[in-house]
Each structure stands twice: as structure tokens, then as C-alpha cells.
Amino acid sequence: MRAHGEFPETLFRSFDKLEYAQQFVSGSIRFGTVLSYKKNEDERRRDATEGTGRFVCEGVQSEVEFCSNVVYALCCHKSLESALKTNYGKYIVEIGDPLYLAEEITRTLRNLNTKHFGGIEGVSIEYTKGEAVSQKPNSYGISRLTYSQKPPCFSDDNEFRFIFIHKEFAGNHIFIPLNKCIKGCVIHDYT
């Protein structure tokens, strides 16, 4: 089990409280189910289409949902500018080595007594939900749309996700305890 996907050199995670940013940097990583964003209390972050993929091929619209497993995500921004623009929190953690973080989370998942599939997948969100495609994606690509695709109206987020798939629902949020500080992380205060 290994981390997979393409990871940028740097990512940014916004927090509205300093204590949450400090918990993150100290290795307490909070993941949420992708479906929890359908009911997010913050209307700016709520996405009623979360957990579905949608595309148009040869004039026919297709919509897909993930099967019985549960997708958990840690959402970040690919640039400081997008983290500041979305205004999701004034404390922004700069993640200096996202691949290292994904590998550390994957190692921890491997040692937990829970059933999950594979390691952390690094996913750059595509803002193409409902748009036309030149050819129908394969079955893996179709299921992946449920956690890698959002409507264009969210494009200011410039989002990147750390994803893992859990066999069953374990709560709307799961904390992954790395039990050590994350190297290469810095907290910036933009108050």
C-alpha cells in the first residue's frame, strides 16, 4: 500500500482557529467524508452535487455515484492566493512536502485496525461537472469522478485532495493520528 497520484510541491490548508492549525501541524489529521460537503454548515463550501460525477458524451448526460464504500478527503488549496481568496480561515498551513504527508498518512492507515483500500491518492480537482467529454471514461475514471470533479462555480478553490477509501462509514470525520509533527509545515496568520 503506497501513496499514489500527482502531488504538487506545496499545498495550503485553511483553518478558522489557530488551535486547529496547530493540531494539524502536530500530526492530528482530520478527514471528512466527501458526502459531508453536501450538508456543510458554511454555505460557501456546501456542494449539493458532491459525491457524484456528471458528464455529457455524444449528447447523453450521465451521472454516477460512488458504490457502497466511503470516500474520505482532506481538502487543500494549490496556491496561497486561492487559500486567501476563498477566505475559509485566517490561519493557513503551508504544506512544504505533500507527498511526504501522503506517505506518512498511508503508513498510519496501514497500522490501524480498520478496513480501507489502498493508500492516499493525491487528486487535483477538475471543475468540469456536467460538461461534454470527447469519449466516455473507463469504469475507474467514472467512479473517480465522484471525488475528483466539482462544478465550475467552485474553481476559485483551486482544490487538491488527499483521498482514501474506507470499507464502511466510520463517522463524518476521522482523525488520523500521525503521532509526530509534520515536517515542512508552517502556520501563517493572515488576521
Q: How far is the CA of 77 from the CAs of 32, 37, 68, 123, 186, in angstroms?
A: 16, 16, 28, 11, 15
How many Å apart are CA 92 and CA 15, to the nearest integer?
6
User: What does the DSSP 8-state code read for residue 26?
Assistant: T
Tell me the whole-structure pTM to 2 decimals. Answer: 0.90
How many distinct structural domains can be found in the chain? 1
- Predicted local confidence at residue 2, as pLDDT: 84
∠71-43-127 over CA atoms, to 5°?
55
How many Å apart are CA 88 and CA 14, to the nearest integer?
6
- Predicted local confidence at residue 16, as pLDDT: 93
Domain that holds residue 86: 4-189
- Predicted local confidence at residue 95, as pLDDT: 98
The series of mean pLDDT values per 10 residues for the chain, 191 residues long, is 90 96 97 76 66 86 79 95 93 97 93 77 94 87 90 93 88 91 94 86
C-alpha cell at 39: 450538508
